[in-house]
Chains A and B, each alone.
Chain A
Amino acid sequence: EAGVAQSPRYKIIEKRQSVAFWCNPISGHATLYWYQQILGQGPKLLIQFQNNGVVDDSQLPKDRFSAERLKGVDSTLKIQPAKLEDSAVYLCASRIAGGNTGELFFGEGSRLTVL
């Protein structure tokens, strides 16, 4: 079974530029999460989708971050314009629909460096 796929693995941009990250969850997983993991910290939830609807985006900085999951499968997270403090690893995770434990499956992450 293929795991959660993310791209790109690494991205370096200047501040005020834009960047987009892509995630393809495990087939059949209805719930998709984007987390931000700053060096030395735990993952912080940015947004949670159930199929193509948003369940929680309370910690998404909506003035610069956006995310979509148009067909309920893959998802894109965009940052525009980027700030220095956005340097982090962006993790995508998915969860099987109907599972009662909440176990998440993670991709390898996309590491963003903002200069």
Chain B
Amino acid sequence: EVQLVESGEGLVQPGSSMKLSCVASGFTFSNYGMNWIRQAPKKGLEWIALIYYDSSSKYYADSVKGRFTISRDNSKNTLYLEMNSLRSEDTAMYYCAKGGLWGWYFDFWGPGTMVTVSS
């Protein structure tokens, strides 16, 4: 059974940094691209970053480019999101999602971890 479990939930001040983790199990993690997607309270879904199975390519939404960094450690079956210069508009539920076999749809999602940026 595929499982994705995010961690790193918390309340942080504007301008600060935070790192999220997502531990994967139930599939061969090193064979699949992975994504971070967020959802602000009462809002829709926003894709923010993807990373290829071997970390050879990474893509970001303009809203986080230059501030967030996606990475992975295939030996630990873990996906990361390093978030710097956090803003109030980054307040959201952050989901880790597995990429599909042949396309960048999201076939499994974690339960999410909440990040609140507020003074």
Chains A and B come from one and the same complex: no
